[in-house]
Chains A and B, each alone.
Chain A
Amino acid sequence: MDFKGSDTIPGPRAEDQLPHTAQAAAKIVIVGGFGVGKTTMVGSVSEITPLTTEETMTQAGIGVDDNFGSATKTATTVAMDFGRISITEQLVLYLFGTPGQQRFWFLWNGLFEGALGAVVLIDTRRLEVSFDVMGRLEERGVPFVVAVNSFPDAPRYAIEELRTALDLTPDIPIIECDARRRASSRDVLMTLMRFLHSLAMTGSRP
Chain B
Amino acid sequence: MTPPQRQRRDPAPEPPPPQEGEGKVRNPERMYVVAGPDGERAELDLVTLIVARATDPPPSASPEQAAVLRLCAAPLSVAELSAYLHLPYSAMGVLLTELLTAELVQARAPIVRKQRTDRSLLEAVMNGLQRL
A155/B1 contact (C-beta < 8 A), A88-B128, A139-B10, A193-B125 known: yes
- The yes or no answer to B41 lying at the interface (CB within 8 A) is no
The size class of the interface chain A forms with chain B is 35 or more
- The yes or no answer to A9 lying at the interface (CB within 8 A) is yes
- The yes or no answer to A45 lying at the interface (CB within 8 A) is yes
Contacts of B73 in A (CB 8 A): 17
Choose from B10, B28, B123 the contact partner of A197 (Cβ within 8 Å).
B123
- Name the distance in Å between B54's Cβ and chain A's nearest Cβ: 14
Contacts of B62 in A (CB 8 A): 3
How many angstroms between the C-alpha atoms of A1 and B86 in the bound complex? 8
Contacts of A143 in B (CB 8 A): 113
Contacts of A58 in B (CB 8 A): 25
Contact present for A25 and B77 (CB under 8 Å): yes
| A115 closest partner in B (C-beta) | B113
- The yes or no answer to A10 lying at the interface (CB within 8 A) is yes
How many angstroms between the C-alpha atoms of A17 and B47 in the bound complex? 15
Contact present for B90 and A55 (CB under 8 Å): yes
How many angstroms between the C-alpha atoms of A110 and B123 in the bound complex? 25
- The yes or no answer to B76 lying at the interface (CB within 8 A) is yes
Contacts of B91 in A (CB 8 A): 1
Contact present for B79 and A51 (CB under 8 Å): yes
A24/B22 contact (C-beta < 8 A), A114-B113, A197-B119 known: no
Contact present for B126 and A18 (CB under 8 Å): no
Contact present for A26 and B47 (CB under 8 Å): yes
Contact present for A88 and B16 (CB under 8 Å): no
How many angstroms between the C-alpha atoms of A127 and B87 in the bound complex? 34
> Most A CB atoms within 10 A — which of B21, B57, B90?
B21
Contact present for B6 and A138 (CB under 8 Å): no
How many angstroms between the C-alpha atoms of A138 and B76 in the bound complex? 31
Contact present for A139 and B12 (CB under 8 Å): yes
Contacts of B37 in A (CB 8 A): none
Contact present for B108 and A24 (CB under 8 Å): yes
Binding site for B on A (CB under 8 A): 1, 3-7, 9-12, 17-20, 22-27, 45, 51-58, 60-63, 66, 68, 82, 84-88, 91-94, 96, 102-103, 105-106, 108-111, 113-117, 124, 127-128, 131, 134-135, 138-143, 155, 157, 161-162, 164-169, 182, 186, 189-190, 193-194, 196-197, 199-201, 203, 205-206
List 12 A-B residue pairs with CB atoms under 8 Å apart, sorted by A's residue number: A11-B84, A53-B88, A60-B24, A109-B26, A110-B46, A115-B113, A138-B10, A141-B12, A165-B3, A165-B5, A196-B122, A200-B117
